[in-house]
Amino acid sequence: MSPELLIAPQKTLGERIRSGNPSAEEELVRAFSSRVTFLALARTRDPELARDLTQEVMLAVLCALREGQLHDAE
């Protein structure tokens, strides 16, 4: 049997968040918050509002992941 078959597949970021891994939550925020801020700023043209919206969106995504509400957590 090859060594690759003996290694368990890595959990996805969504699975790690669902299992309560705080570093996975930080990873998600680092990976996506700047993109969310960019989109919010493009829509609102208000940097403070864009930051607030980013926090709300990231919190909503984390809560949905924690509760298993996203069908495709990828």
For the ranges 34-38, 48-52, 56-60, 62-66, the lowest mean pLDDT is seen at 62-66
User: Using one digit for the tens of pLDDT, what is the confidence trace for 32-46?
Assistant: 999 999 999 999 999
The pLDDT assigned to 53 comes to 98
Yes or no: say if 15 and 28 are a contact pair by the CB < 8 Å rule. Answer: no
Kindly report the number of other CB atoms within 10 A of residue 16's CB atom: 19
User: Using one digit for the tens of pLDDT, what is the confidence trace for 1-10?
Assistant: 444 444 545 6
Radius of gyration of the chain (CA): 16
Burial of 34 (0-12, 13-18, 19+ CB in 10 A): exposed
